[in-house]
Structure 1
Amino acid sequence: MARIAFILLTHKDPEGIIAQAERLTATGDYVAIHFDARAKPAHYAMLREALDDNPNVTFAKKRIKCGWGAWSLVAATLEAVKAAEEEFPRATHFYMLSGDCMQIKSAEYAHRFLDAEDVDYIESFDFHSSGWIKTGMKEDRLIYRHWFNERTQPKRFYFTYEVQKRFNLAREVPSDLQMMIGSQWWCLRRRTIEWVLDFIKDRPDVMRFFRTTWIPDETFFQTIVRHLVPENEIRTRTLTFLMFTDYGMPANFYNDHYDLLLSQDYLFARKISPEATELKARLGALWQEEGKDFAISNEGRELHRFLTARGRIGRRFAPRFWEAEATLGRERTLILVICKKWHVAKRLLAELRKRSHVPALDYVFNEMGPLPDLGGIETSQEKRNRHRRALMRMLFDYHKADRMVLCVDPASLPVIKDFVSDRCQTRLLEIECHFSDDYLTGHAQRVGLAGENTPPHVLEKILPTIRADLAHESEQIRDAEFENYALLREGGDLEDNARALAHALDIPSDMAQELAELDYIFRD
């Protein structure tokens, strides 16, 4: 059975570290602690006094003064790894943690999970091609030497960096290494740890190189493990659940996140807010539970993105300057059928195509439905949205038509506004549908806000938010007070619905009456 040696990098909160170490070792696992040499000596003394008698706890023999982005973080990790490898010969896995991490599964589950596959878990993406680095310095992290810390000595950091660039003092990356990058929160097998420790003894050139790279905790283990371990024995993921805000900072978890955390496909999570005392207590008790089942739905990141985005409505694809004067043509009419239930709008257009020769297209800006070859502009949603007026002009020309019907999702308000502002005549038909809890649950699963195993009480919390969000989309459309707007209501008066269809689609009243009487259109 798996036995885990936790590599615990810490710099504060000695009481929390003591509690964490006692919890993790209570189930037969091990803990190796590196406590930052910059921290208060009294805090370190408190740790040693509380934990020295615990045979499953050890401390790094050498303490390092750590700084963000510097080699010191890797050096501190290696000191704790060496201590764990030496002191705990029965440890089968080495798991990197911080003081802000807590378990979101039981030890029983974690051991069973690690026993299931003989692999290492570490994010390890190609440094140059993966796009893992979103902003800031990229290749320059490696090819220039960084002796100073950007945060504590910014003038020296940037002075030496600019001097190297000016005098072309770039260096070569070790030729036999493919540089990789990823999260520092890994879980490695004992054999892999032994290989890594042997490697750093045998390759002083690689150690010299990494000591002066910038943010090496994202590249050192990621590169060396990929160099030493066969690809089929690496799972390129972390077992620690973490999310980032729009500003690139780790998101905190609070008391009401307990159920969400347990349903994620991870063993630990960071960061747990210091104020989340109830969450810490519940997660602390979880590690020693036996026989507990976990329903994995894995919707955490999508749900977080959805909930934190409320109130920040903006245009994703604004028209480019060269499109500002583009037009579909004054002589053309574009009819937008706006409906959240895509199957309802598609059924209506299918019936319209049976009765009319007007080209009627489904959600071409919301899904990759088939379109004729238009020179490549139709090959991705990004291109379709970025050049939407050009795309529609081509479709009008392709169909040799001066009138066209198009389905649009209510969330695509920028698309609707863009076409309404065009010189062509734009007509709008909004279809108002009923949303049952079953439908909203299915919608949440389709967009990744919930999974098949999401607990009912979690759904009860998010369904009102989703319902309000759909209502808000409709309100925005009505608040815009578009001209040539008509509303078709599910369960509405047949005569009112027929008039709305006739007005918006510009079709004879008898055809509109036929469409209004089709019961199956609204069926889920």
Structure 2
Amino acid sequence: MANIAFILLCHKDPDAIIRQALSLTAVGDYISIHFDARADAAAYRAITSALSDHPNVVFAKKRIKCGWGEWSLVQATLYAVEAAVEAFPRATHFYMLSGDCQAIKTAEYAHGYLDRFEADFIESFDFFASDWIKTGMKEERLIYRHFLNERNNKWLFYKSLELQRRFGLSRKVPEDLEIQIGSQWWCLRRRTVEAILDFLRQRPDVKRFFRTTWIPDETFFQTLVRHLVPEKEIECRTLTFLMFSDYGMPVTFYNDHFDLLLSQDFLFARKISPEALELKERLGSLYSARGVQFEISNEGRSLYKFLTGKGRIGRRFAPRFWETESTLGRERELLIVVCKKWHVAKRLVARIRQLTNVPCIEYLFNEEHTDLPDMGGIQSTLGKRHRHRRSLMRMLFDYFETDRMVICMDPGNLDLLEDFCRDRATTRLLEIECGFTDEYLIGHAMRVGLAGDRTPRETLERLLPTIRNDMVHESDRIRDSEFENHVRIRESDSADVNAIALSEFLSISTEQAQDIARTDHLFAD
């Protein structure tokens, strides 16, 4: 059965560290602590005074000052790992943690999980071929030597880099290593950890190389594990649940995130807010609990993306210079059907196409596989359609040899609506207002990844008001824009009432509009 030795790097909040250590060791697991030498000496004394006699706790034999992006973080980890390997011969796994991490599963669950896999859990993606690094330096992290802390000595850091570039002082990556990159939060088997320590004793050149790479905690263990362990024995993922904001900052969890964290397919989570005392207390007692059943829905990242997107009202794409003065054509009419229930809009436009012969295109800015003619590649992806929206529409008018065309659009595409309604062409909007049952909203949440088949009912019930309000908010934003030629049909209105709006929207006779409004099962889900 798995026995975990936790490798804890920390630098603050001694009381929280003591509670964390006692919680994790209460069920027989172990912990090895490196407390940053930059931190308050009194804090370190408090930790050692409380834990030094604990048989399942050990301290790194040497403390060093740690800095972000420096080798010192890797060296501190190695000191803690060496202490754990020596002190805990029964440890089967070594799990990297920070002081901001908390267990989100029981020890019973964690041990059973690790027992099911004969593998190491560590993110390790090809450094050069992957897109793990989104912005900033990439190859320069490795081929130049970095002796300074970028955050503390920014000018000197980049001056040193500039001089190395100017004088051609680049270096080669060790030829037998394929550099990997990934999250620094890993869980490795004992034999893998021992193999790494043996390798470092035999290859001091590798250690020298990584000493002067930039942000080596994202490449050192990731590279060595891939070098020493067969690929089939590596699970390329972290067991610690963490998320980052659009600004690259770690997302912090608070007291009301307890249920969300427990439903994620991870064993630990970071970062837990220092002020989230209730959350810390609940998670601290969870680790030693027995018989707890977890419903894994794993919707945390998609839910966070959805919720944080609310309130960010603005243009997704700014006008490109080649489209600023372009127009669909003064004599043309673009008829836009706006509806959140795509199947309702599709039924409606199918009937419009049948009775009027006006070309109709369904959700071309929302669905990748919309049936479109070949436009030389401009239609091939949603990104291209958004960027070249006006060019695409002009080409479609020309392709169908028409001056009138109907398209469907989601109400969330306010930026597109604003763009087209400002065009010199005549743009008309038909908004379809539908009712949303709880069952429909749950299905919608599952379709867009906000929930899964195993999402607890309690989570769904908390989510439903947010989704419903979001849909109302989208409709309100369209109304607030006060577009000209904007009419509505409603599920709650009669076919005769809706026919009046359809007649105005399509410029057709009342009889034709009534025929369209009476489309069989138009609003059915």
**Shorter-chain TM-score tier:** over 0.9
The amino acid across from 1:339 in the alignment is: C
Q: Determine the structure 2 residue equivalent to 1:107.
A: 107
Larger deviation, residues 465-474 vs 133-142: 133-142
Question: Following the alignment from structure 1 to structure 2, what is the Cα–Cα distance between the partners of residues 377 and 235?
Answer: 39
Deviations 1:237-263 (A, max 9, x none): 111111122322111111100001001
Q: Determine the structure 2 residue equivalent to 1:264.
A: 264
Deviations 1:425-477 (A, max 9, x none): 11110000011111111112222222222222222222112111111111111
The amino acid across from 1:96 in the alignment is: M
Question: Following the alignment from structure 1 to structure 2, what is the Cα–Cα distance between the partners of residues 17 and 299?
Answer: 29
- 1:10 matched to 2:42: no
Q: Determine the structure 2 residue equivalent to 1:512.
A: 513
- 1:194 matched to 2:194: yes
Question: Following the alignment from structure 2 to structure 1, what is the Cα–Cα distance between the partners of residues 69 and 498?
Answer: 63
Note the 1:199-348 alignment, pairs <5 A: 199-348=199-348
Question: Following the alignment from structure 1 to structure 2, what is the Cα–Cα distance between the partners of residues 249 and 24?
Answer: 27
Deviations 1:286-324 (A, max 9, x none): 101111111111111121122222211111122201011
Secondary structure, aligned partner of 2:522: helix
The amino acid across from 2:405 in the alignment is: M
Q: Determine the structure 2 residue equivalent to 1:354.
A: 354
Secondary structure, aligned partner of 1:207: helix
Q: Determine the structure 2 residue equivalent to 1:84.
A: 84
* Deviation >4 Å, runs of 4+: none
Deviations 1:462-508 (A, max 9, x none): 21121111111111111111111110100213222001111112232
Question: Following the alignment from structure 2 to structure 1, what is the Cα–Cα distance between the partners of residues 22 and 233?
Answer: 31
Q: Determine the structure 1 residue equivalent to 2:150.
A: 150
Question: Following the alignment from structure 1 to structure 2, what is the Cα–Cα distance between the partners of residues 478 and 521?
Answer: 24
The amino acid across from 1:88 in the alignment is: F
Alignment check: 8 A CA contact 2:351 2:519 kept: no
Question: Following the alignment from structure 2 to structure 1, what is the Cα–Cα distance between the partners of residues 119 and 206?
Answer: 25
Secondary structure, aligned partner of 1:470: helix
Larger deviation, residues 160-169 vs 431-440: 160-169
Q: Determine the structure 2 residue equivalent to 1:446.
A: 447
Larger deviation, residues 253-262 vs 508-517: 508-517
Larger deviation, residues 24-33 vs 148-157: 148-157
Question: Following the alignment from structure 1 to structure 2, what is the Cα–Cα distance between the partners of residues 468 and 209?
Answer: 54
Residue 350 of structure 1, CA deviation: 1.5
Residue 407 of structure 1, CA deviation: 0.3
Unaligned ranges ≥5, structure 2 = none
Q: CA RMSD in A?
A: 1.3
Q: Determine the structure 2 residue equivalent to 1:498.
A: 499
Alignment check: 8 A CA contact 2:123 2:182 kept: yes
Question: Following the alignment from structure 1 to structure 2, what is the Cα–Cα distance between the partners of residues 370 and 121?
Answer: 42
Q: Determine the structure 1 residue equivalent to 2:473.
A: 472
Q: Determine the structure 2 residue equivalent to 1:400.
A: 401
Note the 1:363-512 alignment, pairs <5 A: 363-368=363-368, 369-512=370-513
Residue 278 of structure 1, CA deviation: 0.7
Q: Normalising by the residue count of structure 2, what TM-score does the alignment of the two structures yield?
A: 0.97
Question: Following the alignment from structure 1 to structure 2, what is the Cα–Cα distance between the partners of residues 318 and 489?
Answer: 33
Question: Following the alignment from structure 1 to structure 2, what is the Cα–Cα distance between the partners of residues 31 and 98?
Answer: 12
Question: Following the alignment from structure 1 to structure 2, what is the Cα–Cα distance between the partners of residues 437 and 365?
Answer: 27
Secondary structure, aligned partner of 1:322: coil
Question: Following the alignment from structure 1 to structure 2, what is the Cα–Cα distance between the partners of residues 150 and 318?
Answer: 33
Deviations 1:155-188 (A, max 9, x none): 4323322211111111111122121111100111
Secondary structure, aligned partner of 1:321: coil
The amino acid across from 2:340 in the alignment is: K
The amino acid across from 1:433 in the alignment is: C
Residue 232 of structure 1, CA deviation: 2.0
Question: Following the alignment from structure 2 to structure 1, what is the Cα–Cα distance between the partners of residues 45 and 421?
Answer: 70
Question: Following the alignment from structure 1 to structure 2, what is the Cα–Cα distance between the partners of residues 438 and 333?
Answer: 37
Q: Determine the structure 1 residue equivalent to 2:44.
A: 44
Question: Following the alignment from structure 1 to structure 2, what is the Cα–Cα distance between the partners of residues 155 and 356?
Answer: 68
The amino acid across from 1:38 in the alignment is: R
Secondary structure, aligned partner of 2:322: helix
The amino acid across from 1:53 in the alignment is: D
Secondary structure, aligned partner of 2:90: coil
The amino acid across from 2:81 in the alignment is: V
Residue 385 of structure 1, CA deviation: 0.8
Alignment check: 8 A CA contact 2:38 2:65 kept: yes
Larger deviation, residues 127-136 vs 68-77: 127-136
Q: Determine the structure 1 residue equivalent to 2:127.
A: 127
Residue 17 of structure 1, CA deviation: 1.2
Aligned length in residues = 524
Question: Following the alignment from structure 1 to structure 2, what is the Cα–Cα distance between the partners of residues 462 and 232?
Answer: 39
Question: Following the alignment from structure 2 to structure 1, what is the Cα–Cα distance between the partners of residues 233 and 315?
Answer: 43
Alignment check: 8 A CA contact 2:104 2:269 kept: yes
The amino acid across from 1:362 in the alignment is: E
Question: Following the alignment from structure 2 to structure 1, what is the Cα–Cα distance between the partners of residues 520 and 267?
Answer: 49
Residue 519 of structure 1, CA deviation: 4.7
The amino acid across from 2:256 in the alignment is: D
Question: Following the alignment from structure 2 to structure 1, what is the Cα–Cα distance between the partners of residues 225 and 92?
Answer: 16
Unaligned ranges ≥5, structure 1 = none
The amino acid across from 1:101 in the alignment is: C
Deviations 1:20-74 (A, max 9, x none): 1111111111111111112222222222222222211111111111111100000
Secondary structure, aligned partner of 1:414: helix
Q: Determine the structure 1 residue equivalent to 2:523.
A: 522
- % identity of equivalent residues: 66
Larger deviation, residues 496-505 vs 154-163: 154-163
Larger deviation, residues 402-411 vs 448-457: 448-457
